[in-house]
Structure 1
């Protein structure tokens, strides 16, 4: 018995020593990085609080008081705001991210994760796209939607007709494969060809496939001007029929006669939510949009490929019909000319970048009337078209939409090459503008709520489980900024300017922006949708 007790005490001592050693190792755990002296806004909408943040292996592992000696690297937040990295749910980076993988314009604006493939335009083979990006590595995390326009064009080209049953099945199969490859949902651009040629049932069929794999439906709706209410209702109806969450992209009113009616359009969203339909919206905080010049022409004129478009634009009778429709739309918007439309990028003649259609018409010595301006637009489209900026919204509507509690902040931008062309400033300063103008200067939003709209709300909407909050176990995507200095510097006249007031940006625990400067590091990951099949 004495021998047994002695043996038991030795075993007990052995386990006590193991337990003590384990506890000591936890106590003495070294963090890769500790952020000290910050005021944390955790992304939930709750008020800020003082705490340190410990990071190890790309994750947040502790929030509280941490000894500086416990960390390999210490970042002094200097009493600035420490919050989750911003998630930009509406971007278009397919054509440039491979050449500009450091995504500087996004990083300098505090963005750590982006969702691309919006407005119906995406890579069709997402598995190949993701593999390519993993090889070159990015400074931001990236997820993608599968674009309806891209899928339709792949199967049907740019034809102006309904799909056959076989074609519908082919499109649904492509959407299914994309969801299995990790798409976060389906995106439509119903104002663009060939998506504008589709009817609602076609989109519902594709949305049902995305829904079955846990995706969402994000839509550039069919009309954001005179028929905006009908277009919103169509998006809601697709959500209702396909049983899929709906995201209405860059929510706005682009019709001058309807300025001030954002309360009506927001009410449509609110009523849908009360009905039980999961609808959210996103917005960029500017009174101008940006898209291609082709949207200024009736969509039927752009069908069936460039050669037929050229024939229509040069045939006198067809050209006259196109002009009449363009002028009818202009007059319906209570405008006398196209001076609201500025050229951002025109490959045929870059000297016209930054000028509006009326200015260009005058510069070319043409008659100063809306008819010749419409002809100028057709001529430019025939030469390849242009990326445009359209000043067509009111500040009243922008502010009211921003105040809606389920509005997310998005840039609707791509990766921008610095000092090239005259792009929309939203690509440089959307988040900083909200925090500087609409929080600090205009008091439209509280700081904590603005951060929520940039972090946990988009993470919830796009079903990104481990980002969007300062929480233990979450990815260490973090932004440190001075709420008294954060400012968007980009303007419409001089758009190439990075935001100021953001001191540091961490992506998966790695400082890609430090002391206000991009480090060149690329620690981003691919964000896969719920339907990903390994």
Structure 2
């Protein structure tokens, strides 16, 4: 998904005072631990501990001192300054979202309501674009004049000053380093340009990036050859980082795209993470076993390939994804100029209506009736939010193709859309694979009247939906295995060695929920609804959700690969 620029960047606040949150916490050395015989800071009593390893639950208590787990077991005589009763509840490690887009939202609203209310305590971001590198080229496409950082360490300082409720780490992306060096040019880099891009990846890795990521369906990364991406992935690999990818195709050439991702990681000598694994478009339904087979074959020969998914039969991205790739060259301003130019518009119209039909508009969703307008940035266009493209065109008295062009022009190509393009059978097949984790592909949001439009329900309900629909109701996977996919598997993937498992000495991130009632409430029609059954959420030893209510505590931290600073 390419997140909306306006959603991510308005408003920004980089210091706690600007966000109304009081003084920023120190990011220096942690205080000395309390004596071992001192009372614990927090004691979680009498829960069903599902430790994140895939093991069955056991009855027990968990004690926290500072930001770490101090003891696990039957702690009958333990004393603590604060206690949570977990009777009838599951105590799980905090859930890790392997694909979020909260790098900018957390700077403006650190509460992360849509994340904590579905049990997320940590997020990994940086898919299509990343917060670094920064220059006029990258800022222009974000619609931003400037940001108060120039490297990843500077961004992490701004993040911690903004006091987020959750932890966050990031990849550095092909799209951002390419745009920094080359703008949105549709060509191969020169040797000097490629060397500059290598240096930019190295700088981000030195500051703790998780690896290199690519959004190969989106310009300008879509203009990069496989060999170019391999060269950049080699740099990430040299620092112990991996390669993650929104692949070049998720539909007609799904298997070929899987094999390209595998080749990049295998040649670069590093692990591979395939983002939101799916078979998109009705003609491609049933291809999931072939995609899984390609991954299993790579794993059998020693290539470390894993994937993430979200549990919905619809994807979400910009409406401008409908426009052919060549028309995006040069960036947003160039795209808008082409849509406004009669000759170029006629060429685009011909491509999108080839054969006398408009099925080339929203092909993966079966045509324009399978695409819903999710969000716009211009007030006068808000009446179209929640409409299918066919309904929007009828309301405007236009053919669909012209209505889409005019909407993109009026909204400066910032319109988001939902594409109903996947089958439940493929979703379940992917979910059964032991190497698949969860990435919701959505940034942190509020859950009140300040949220406009019809955002994808995955933003509010992905993790509880798996526990409700796929564990409790349909038995696709077991509860211990679901928790493993939420916790230790993603932590292991990106090298968070001190998170993801309930064990003494680990960071105290917990999600405590009712296994009998946990469920999503967000729908495509009414998406801004928080999930139910998530009772307590603890980040770095501090409750951010207590008895189902946000506490407004903001103890989140930057996550750096391997703990680098």
TM-score between the two structures when normalised by the length of structure 2: 0.86
CA distance in 1, matches of 2:254, 2:397: 37
* 1:409 aligns with one of 435, 438, 456: 438
The aligned counterpart of 2:418 is: 389
Partners of 1:225 and 1:254 within 8 A in 2:
yes
Instruction: Report what 1:13 is aligned to.
Output: none
Contact 1:291 1:387 (8 Å CA) reproduced: yes
Question: Partner residue of 1:285?
Answer: 311
1:252 aligns with 2:245: no
- Gap change, CA 1:307 and 1:488, over 3 Å in 2: closer
Q: 2:242·2:271 contact (CA, 8 Å) conserved in 1?
A: yes
Q: Once the 2 structures are TM-superposed, how far is the Cα of residue 331 of structure 1 from its aligned partner?
A: 5.3
Q: Does the 8 A contact of 2:281 with 2:366 survive in 1? A: no
Aligned mates of 1:260, 1:232 — CA distance in 2: 15
- Distance, in Å, in 2 between the alignment partners of 1:299 and 1:475 is 44
For residue 190 of structure 1, the aligned residue among 216, 219, 224 is 216
Residue 342 of structure 1 contacts residue 355 of structure 1 at CA under 8 Å; is this kept in 2?
yes
Q: Which residue of structure 1 aligns with residue 103 of structure 2?
A: 94
> Which aligned segments of 4 or more residues in structure 1 are displaced greater than 6 angstroms?
none
Question: Mapping of 1:128-527 within 5 angstroms?
Answer: 128-327=154-353, 330=359, 333=363, 337-348=367-378, 349-366=381-398, 372-383=399-410, 384-385=412-413, 386-418=415-447, 419=449, 420=451, 421-527=453-559
Contact kept, 8 Å, 1:250 with 1:283, in 2: the verdict is yes
Contact kept in structure 1, 2:372 and 2:388, CA below 8 Å: yes
Q: Secondary structure at the match of 2:417?
A: strand
State how far apart, in whole Å, the 2-side matches of 1:485 and 1:334 are: 34
Q: In structure 2, the residue corresponding to 1:39 is in which secondary structure?
A: strand
Could you tell me which residue of structure 2 aligns to residue 7 of structure 1?
none
| Unmatched runs of 5 consecutive residues or more in structure 2 | 1-34, 134-150
Measure the CA separation in 1 of the matches of 2:125 and 2:418.
20
**TM-score normalized by structure 1?**
0.91
- Range with greater deviation from structure 2 (184-193 or 340-349): 340-349
Residues 403, 466 of structure 1: alpha-carbon distance in 2 compared, 3 angstrom cutoff = same
**What is aligned with 2:143?**
none
CA distance, structure 2, for counterparts of residue 392 and residue 156 of structure 1? 33
Whether the 8 Å contact between 2:280 and 2:364 is mirrored in structure 1 is no
Query: Does 1:107 find its partner at 2:134?
Result: no
Change (3 A) 1:68 1:105: farther
Between the aligned partners of 2:248 and 2:242, the Cα distance in structure 1 is: 18
> Greater shift after overlay, 102-111 or 119-128?
119-128
Distance 2:39 2:156 in 1: 33
- Check the 8 A contact 2:215/2:247 in 1, yes or no: yes
Structure 1: how far apart are the matches of 2:53 and 2:307? 18
Q: Helix, strand or coil for the counterpart of 1:443?
A: coil
Cα distance, 1:308 vs. partner?
Answer: 3.1
Tell me, in whole angstroms, the C-alpha distance in 2 between the residues paired with 1:233 and 1:179.
25
**Residues 531 and 148 from structure 1, CA distance in 2 versus in 1: closer, same or farther, beyond 3 angstroms?**
farther
* Residue pairs, 1:36-75, within 5 angstroms: 36-67=45-76, 70-75=79-84
1:38-93: per-residue Cα shift (whole Å, max 9, x none)?
01000000000011111111111111122355211111101210010000010111
Matched residues, number: 503
Deviation at 1:122, TM superposition (A): 3.6
Query: In 1, Cα distance between the equivalents of 2:159 and 2:131?
Result: 14
Match of 2:42 in 1: 33
| Contact 1:480 1:505 survives alignment (8 Å) | yes
- Say which one has the larger Rg: 1
CA RMSD of aligned residues (A): 1.7
Q: What CA distance in whole angstroms lies between the structure 2 residues aligned with 1:201 and 1:38?
A: 51
1:391-411: per-residue Cα shift (whole Å, max 9, x none)? 101111111111111100111
Q: CA deviation at 1:126?
A: 1.5
SS state of the match for residue 530, structure 1?
A: helix
